[in-house]
Chain A
């Protein structure tokens, strides 16, 4: 069987790639896609820990994370659509001030 460490290393690499995307991409939708990568890295390590400990608790926590991600996408994309209607752009550099 593949060791738990290999899965955790893959999860860490995935998380770092997602972090790079969050820091460098300039469209709000692309920042969201990178956040999804980071959430999935967390899910991968949760499932790996569930297998290492023989306990279903961590696998169940994955469902909570997935639901949170779905809610985040629903509300976040609604905010992006609203901002796009007002400002005609979703470039995060132009959205740096919190004026309506």
Chain B
């Protein structure tokens, strides 16, 4: 049963990832990534991580991907870039490098041996419920937790500062131009 779930969800994850990197249209790529993220959430649910699974759907597959799709639509970036790639053989080099990296990871992964029996370790996780996870977050991870709050504040202020339109300086233009500028903004 667990093996069937792993194979199905793993196939969905790989197919979604391949769609993400190979699709010509950016909207298709974003939707492939949504599929990968939702399948990953299912994978977390089978690994005694219920809270991580729920947050994955809400934050990643929900908020982050809506932001991505919004920007793709806003910039009309859904069409592929045409013309020759200025870097020679980049596709071939990336394919060989990716294949080498993947095979190295696979070999490394199967040399990993568990420190204790899996069923015994999984019982200690309390199914990854919000309570125990939050307790770890606010005791052992208190400093990173507070640092992340500062990071989020900086990200919010920074993105608002980046996308605001430049303000017309009233003393740099004539009276009439400043007036019409105000009307355009209004």
Contact = CB atoms under 8 A, between A and B. Distances in A.
Interface in A62-100: 62-64, 66-71, 73-75, 77-82, 84, 90-91, 93
A40 B37 contact: yes
Nearest to B100: A16
A44 B33 CA distance: 15
Given A59-B51, A64-B144, 20 more contacts: A2-B3, A9-B110, A10-B14, A12-B104, A17-B17, A18-B17, A21-B21, A25-B21, A34-B20, A36-B33, A40-B36, A40-B60, A50-B128, A54-B123, A60-B140, A61-B141, A63-B133, A66-B59, A74-B156, A93-B81
A59 B36 contact: no
Contacts of B156: 74
25 contacts: A8-B105, A9-B109, A12-B108, A17-B102, A19-B97, A23-B98, A33-B30, A33-B68, A36-B64, A43-B52, A51-B125, A52-B114, A53-B116, A67-B148, A67-B151, A67-B152, A70-B64, A73-B67, A74-B67, A74-B156, A77-B71, A81-B74, A81-B75, A82-B163, A90-B75
B63 A59 contact: no
Nearest to B32: A33
Interface string A3-24: 1111111111111111111011
Interface of B: 2-3, 6, 10, 13-14, 17-18, 20-21, 26, 29-30, 33, 36-37, 40, 43-44, 46-49, 51-52, 55-56, 59-60, 63-64, 67-68, 71-72, 74-75, 77, 80-81, 85-86, 90-91, 93-95, 97-99, 101-102, 104-106, 108-112, 114-116, 118-126, 128, 132-133, 136-137, 140-141, 144-145, 148, 151-152, 154-156, 158-159, 162-163
Interface of A: 1-21, 23-27, 29-30, 32-34, 36-37, 40, 43-44, 47-48, 50-57, 59-64, 66-71, 73-75, 77-82, 84, 90-91, 93
A41 B80 CA distance: 26
A87 to B, nearest CB: 11
A18 B145 CA distance: 27
A34 B95 CA distance: 14
B54 to A, nearest CB: 12
